[in-house]
Amino acid sequence: MTSDPQQVPMFRIDVSADPGTSHVDEELDSSDLIVALLRQVVANQERQNLLLKEIGDQLSAAQRQRAHELGQWKDANPELAHCCRSAAETLSRVQTQFLHNLTEEIAENADCLMDGEFMLNEFVDRFGPRLAHLNGVLQVLSQLSSHPNTPNTPK
pLDDT digits (tens, 9 = 90+) for 62-114: 999 999 999 999 999 999 999 999 999 999 999 999 999 999 999 998 888 88
Three-state DSSP class for residue 144: helix
Q: What integer pLDDT is reported at residue 119 of this predicted model?
A: 87
Residue 146, Cβ density class (10 Å: 0-12 exposed, 13-18 middle, ≥19 buried): middle
Picking from 150, 145, 144, the residue whose alpha carbon sits closest to that of residue 86 is 145
The torsion defined by the Cα of 132, 134, 135 and 136, in degrees rounded to 10, comes to 90
Average pLDDT estimate for 120-144: 92
List of residues 6+ apart from 94 with CB closer than 8 A: 134
pLDDT tens-digit map of 4-51: 556 656 666 666 666 555 554 445 578 888 999 999 999 999 999 999
Q: Is 100 left (phi over 0), alpha (psi -120 to 50) or beta?
A: alpha
d(CA 137, CA 94): 12
Instruction: In the chain, count H helices and then E strands.
Output: 4, 0
